Structure 1
């Protein structure tokens, strides 16, 4: 395809050829009018006579005698999966250039070890359900509560400890230091759209997890999404009979990841990392309540305004249809 500043686009090439062939214009006059060389005009006129298209031809050669063989490419991928070595080490084993190894691995999406499953050595398989509600991921993120005056991440260790001691109405540990406890962020995120529902609670018990699920089902239902399956890890709340019975009552199929395989629930894990950067540790909060109050605004921005690469650089809400307030 011609570049954006090309003198002759396919439409103008056709016009040039017709002026020469059908209207009888001299090649030199057509070249002067369109400000191109006469060989260029002659080339497109000859292609028009031959019935060829006005698009650019492929620059790919008809034959590539020095092309890397399929056998070497397969062996390169096999060694990468088995040995997890880099391009330089694999090149010495295969007798080819490291740049060739890199090109092979990049084509197989194995050019980074982070793309390779550590347990099997195979390329990580990514999936996405085909409609909202087909599967939602649930998980809990535990965050340390912020003392009044600010946490150590922003005010430093020394001042953070003083703020911790000065925070009122907190129980003491055996060293007589105040126990600030944790904030448990319960998240339900849709696999297809990446739309997220999040609550901050004071524990991660089965009763709390079930309450979050009930409210999440209602929240998604108000936006036209019916939850069919829910995927969780093997935490105690999700292995409880209460969780199982609640899913059955809501007509939701509960599923759990394989033990010690958080990658299976990677969408909610990645959301928690985004949430930590964009909300939990984004600025200096002077109290835990201030941070919790800021969650609603950030979640609205994430769902309805923040571009998401998995959604084609559009907000997650763009994958939901006819939602009230979708573009507010």
Structure 2
């Protein structure tokens, strides 16, 4: 007999329930507690046992065994899960512009005709947490000096308000000793630094999301090497 691998009551369990009920006068509540099922389930087992039927019965409704019904049901379950996750998501908004500026870097993909041995440029982005004002530039490498140049020439030179904190991952272009170029540039301009938890890039989600959007837009305009 083919049975579901997680079935609660096997035919042997049903026979034992009937035996305990008949010979030892076990109560329905005690049987339900022992087999970890509901009382209505025990009543149903006893009803079938009186007819000498101890095998689980399949549904007589054909639509429950239809694959299309199963797919529709699965889609509804997935939608319900996604809805609950969105409700549980913790979102925050800063109080004023410049309170927190998100920084991130992305290596650009190979263009059509470009060799893998050739140097690739890097996309630097900075986005204000409150206003969503975006700054971006393409630089030849991912060093601390490029990060410093991006901060001074693109962000501070254009940003109309004071930046309190720079928020980034733990990459070498953003984090280092007090003499680190980007660290020193932040300190000289009165900008504090905050970093994401290690191996948790999603905590810098605003910068990650804007890079993804820019990459999608760029892919529509460029031909890349496959």
Q: 1:31-42 alignment to 2 at 5 Å?
A: none
1:180 partnered with 2:118: yes
Q: Residue 145 of structure 1: CA displacement?
A: 3.6
- Structure 2 vs 1, CA of residues 237 and 284 (structure 1 numbering), >3 Å: closer, same or farther? closer
Partner residue of 1:260?
199
Any stretches of 5+ residues in structure 1 without a counterpart? 1-97, 117-122, 152-162, 166-177, 287-328
Q: 1:1-328 alignment to 2 at 5 Å?
A: 111=83, 115=86, 123-146=88-111, 151=112, 163-164=113-114, 179-215=117-153, 216-220=155-159, 224-241=160-177, 242=180, 243-278=182-217, 280-284=218-222
Describe the superposition over 1:80-129 as per-residue Cα deviations: whole angstroms up to 9, x where unpaired: xxxxxxxxxxxxxxxxxx9xx97xx96xx96355x49xxxxxx3311111
Q: Residue 285 of structure 1: CA displacement?
A: 5.1
Describe the superposition over 1:30-74 as per-residue Cα deviations: whole angstroms up to 9, x where unpaired: xxxxxxxxxxxxxxxxxxxxxxxxxxxxxxxxxxxxxxxxxxxxx
Residue 105 of structure 2 aligns to a residue in which SS? Answer: strand
Q: Give the conservation status (yes or no) of the 8 Å contact 1:189–1:197.
A: yes
Residue 266 of structure 1 aligns to a residue in which SS? Answer: helix
Residue 254 of structure 1 aligns to a residue in which SS? Answer: strand
Higher relative contact order (CA 8 A, sep 6+): 2
Q: Residue 212 of structure 1: CA displacement?
A: 0.6
CA distance, structure 2, for counterparts of residue 205 and residue 258 of structure 1: 21
Q: CA RMSD in A?
A: 2.8
Q: Residue 184 of structure 1: CA displacement?
A: 0.4
Aligned length: 146
CA distance, structure 1, for counterparts of residue 161 and residue 223 of structure 2: 34
CA distance, structure 2, for counterparts of residue 127 and residue 205 of structure 1: 31
Any stretches of 5+ residues in structure 2 without a counterpart? 1-72
Show structure 1 runs of 4+ deviating over 3 A.
none
What is the TM-score of this pair, normalised by structure 2?
A: 0.57
- Structure 2 vs 1, CA of residues 257 and 282 (structure 1 numbering), >3 Å: closer, same or farther? same
Q: Residue 180 of structure 1: CA displacement?
A: 2.7
CA distance, structure 1, for counterparts of residue 142 and residue 103 of structure 2: 12
Describe the superposition over 1:260-287 as per-residue Cα deviations: whole angstroms up to 9, x where unpaired: 1111100000001110111x2122359x
Q: Give the conservation status (yes or no) of the 8 Å contact 1:144–1:181.
A: no
